[in-house]
């Protein structure tokens, strides 16, 4: 009889195994999956009690699972009850599934959201608070160490006499002092965090600060470029205060060089602030550095006249003026032959410390022009040829010309005596005086002048 029952059990197991769903097709995966553990055909008596007792004993040792009820039937474990945290539900199922003989786990656990169930979390929070209170003396000691290191940095940065001897100007002196303060403050913070054992926090903070600094660097690129240009200009010293300069197409006299901009006073008396980044990259023409300066002007003589004789006469006239320098000598150049004249360019040098450049040019032009005219050289104006169509005129040309001549008043040209020989050509520049007055006034700490007259001009 027992053999017959065993044969029937085997026959019943075979169709059941044949009716099992086919395994899904294998998919490409980086790691092969472990084969499913086979389920035994039979179960020994008392296995359910053994599994239930084992799981219940494990849960009894874990405070989170003390309210979990376990029941086992035919190797199927059913969990019922409440646990304090959501992750404890999956944890209980994972523990029960690891017990030998368990076929599957029916997880009916729920989270207990009552206030009494969170006593463990509150106890943990209380413990952390107690730990924090216990570490307060250590925190205080770390703060004291940080403050002491930062104080040393401030004391070193305050040694203005030392840094003024090392740095070439006040701007760089202030930069060195700020760098020393920054290094000591950051170094003190590193030491303080190491004392309290927060080295990992320091790494995270420095990493985040690096990313933030990179983003700010791109956002404030123009500001940083302007700051670096200010530093370079303070070292290079391309001009002095009250120098007459041309920065690209911006002309004026230098009032001061600040940490942000170069302040000019235009020849109209207006203030002009040029960003130092633009000044650093610009082409700068300094009209003041060399006291000798040349002016030039063009005059055209009649094409039928002797251009070489006119050139010689004009050059001699220019050289005879008292304010024209002998070295370099005055010069005349024939530069162009026009339709009705020959253009001659006259050049003369003056000493700007004794002669105003504009006044010298204003004196030289009429002097040469008068000398050429007195010598019989013609200074013709451009000649244009006009053609009139008689068919488009309402009045005959002869009558129109007679009427215009009769109506036109006779103009009397009065010859005025020239007094330009008595004109003073000494340099008197009102803009230069205004710049000097403003430079004597303090521009404040933010507009501190970085130009150092003790350093050579580049």
pLDDT digits 0-9 by tens, 17-29:
333 344 444 444 4
**Among 301-305, 377-381, 393-397, which stretch is predicted with the lowest mean pLDDT?**
393-397
Residue range 149-175: average pLDDT? 77
pLDDT tens-digit readout, 79-124: 998 888 888 889 988 998 888 888 899 988 888 776 555 555 556 6
Residue range 390-416: average pLDDT? 50
Measuring CA to CA, which residue among 121, 133, 129, 143 is closest to residue 198? 143
What pLDDT is recorded for position 158?
81
184 phi, psi to nearest 5 deg: -70, -35
What pLDDT is recorded for position 115?
59
What pLDDT is recorded for position 122?
59
Residue range 399-421: average pLDDT? 47
Residues 6+ apart with CB under 8 A from 2: none
Which CATH number, 3.30.1340.30, 3.10.290.10, 3.40.47.10, 3.40.50.150, labels domain 47-113?
3.30.1340.30
Percent of the chain with pLDDT over 70: 74
pLDDT tens-digit readout, 53-80: 888 889 888 888 888 889 988 888 999 9
Asked if residue 404 has pLDDT above 90, the reply is: no
Token pair 């004009």: residue: 314
DSSP letters of 201-236?
A: HHHHHHHHHHHHHHHHHHHTHHHHHHHHHHHHHHHH
Residue range 154-174: average pLDDT? 74
CATH of domain 292-386: 3.30.70.100
Model confidence band, residue 36 (pLDDT cutoffs 50, 70, 90): low
Q: Per-domain residue ranges for the chain? A: 47-113, 121-219, 238-289+429-447, 292-386
pLDDT tens-digit readout, 189-219: 888 888 887 766 667 766 766 777 777 666 6
pLDDT tens-digit readout, 212-254: 777 766 666 777 788 888 888 888 888 988 899 999 999 999 9
- The count of C-alpha atoms lying within 13 angstroms of the C-alpha of 95, restricted to the half-sphere facing its C-beta, is 21
Contacts of 67-71 spanning 24+ positions with Cβ under 8 A: 67/112, 68/92, 68/109, 70/96
- pLDDT averaged over every residue in the chain: 78
CATH of domain 238-289+429-447: 2.30.30.60
Model confidence band, residue 394 (pLDDT cutoffs 50, 70, 90): low
Residues 6+ apart with CB under 8 A from 446: 258, 259
Residue range 287-309: average pLDDT? 91
CA 419 to each of CA 80, 252, 363, 373, 416: distance values in angstroms, whole numbers, following the listed order: 121, 31, 10, 17, 9
What pLDDT is recorded for position 375?
92
Shared fold status for 47-113 and 292-386: no
3-state helix, strand, coil in the chain (%, to 5): 50, 15, 35
pLDDT tens-digit readout, 255-294: 988 888 899 999 888 999 999 989 998 999 999 888 999 9
- Here the tokens at position 421 are 């020989």
Task: Compare 420 and 127 and report the one with higher pLDDT.
Answer: 127
What pLDDT is recorded for position 301?
92
Residue range 1-5: average pLDDT? 43
What pLDDT is recorded for position 170?
65
- Here the tokens at position 92 are 């209980």
């Amino acid at each position: 009889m027992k053999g017959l029952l065993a044969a029937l059990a085997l026959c019943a197991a075979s169709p059941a195994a044949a009716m099992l769903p086919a395994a899904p097709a294998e998919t490409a995966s980086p790691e092969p999956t472990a084969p499913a553990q086979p389920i035994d055909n039979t179960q020994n008596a008392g296995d359910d009690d053994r599994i239930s007792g084992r799981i219940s004993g494990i849960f009894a040792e874990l405070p989170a699972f003390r309210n979990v009820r376990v029941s086992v039937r035919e190797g199927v474990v059913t969990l019922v009850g409440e646990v304090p945290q959501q992750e404890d539900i999956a944890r209980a199922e994972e523990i029960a599934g690891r017990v030998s003989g368990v076929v599957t786990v029916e997880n009916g656990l729920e989270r207990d959201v009552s206030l009494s169930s969170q006593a463990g979390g509150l106890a943990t929070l209380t413990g952390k608070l107690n730990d924090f209170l216990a570490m307060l003396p250590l925190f205080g000691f770390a703060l004291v160490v940080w403050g002491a290191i930062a104080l040393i940095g401030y004391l070193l940065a305050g040694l203005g006499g030392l840094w003024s001897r090392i740095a070439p100007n006040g701007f760089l002196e202030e930069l060195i002092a700020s760098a020393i303060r920054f290094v000591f403050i950051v170094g003190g913070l590193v030491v303080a965090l190491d004392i309290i054992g927060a080295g990992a926090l320091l790494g995270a903070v420095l990493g985040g600060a690096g990313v933030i600094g990179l983003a700010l660097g791109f956002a404030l690129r123009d500001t940083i470029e302007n700051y670096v240009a200010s530093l370079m200009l303070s070292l290079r010293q391309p001009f002095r205060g009250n120098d007459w300069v041309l920065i690209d197409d911006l002309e004026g006299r230098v009032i001061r060089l600040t940490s942000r901009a170069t302040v000019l006073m235009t020849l109209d008396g207006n203030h002009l602030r040029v960003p130092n980044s633009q000044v650093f990259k610009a082409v700068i023409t300094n009209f003041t550095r060399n006291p000798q300066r040349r002016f030039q002007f063009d005059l055209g003589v009649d094409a039928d006249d002797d251009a070489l004789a006119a050139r010689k006469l004009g050059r001699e006239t220019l050289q005879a003026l008292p304010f024209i320098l002998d070295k370099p000598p005055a010069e005349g150049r024939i530069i162009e032959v026009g339709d009705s004249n020959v253009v001659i360019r006259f050049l003369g040098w003056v000493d700007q410390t004794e002669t105003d450049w504009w006044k010298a040019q204003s004196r030289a032009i009429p002097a040469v022009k008068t000398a050429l005219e007195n010598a019989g050289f013609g200074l013709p104006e451009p000649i244009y040829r006009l053609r009139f169509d008689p068919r488009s005129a309402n009045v005959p040309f002869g009558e129109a010309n007679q009427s215009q001549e009769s109506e036109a008043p006779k103009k009397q040209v009065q010859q005025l005596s020239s007094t330009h020989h008595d004109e003073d050509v000494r340099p008197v520049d009102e803009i230069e005086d205004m710049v000097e007055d403003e430079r004597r006034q303090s521009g404040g700490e933010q507009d501190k002048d970085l130009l150092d007259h003790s350093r050579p001009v580049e």
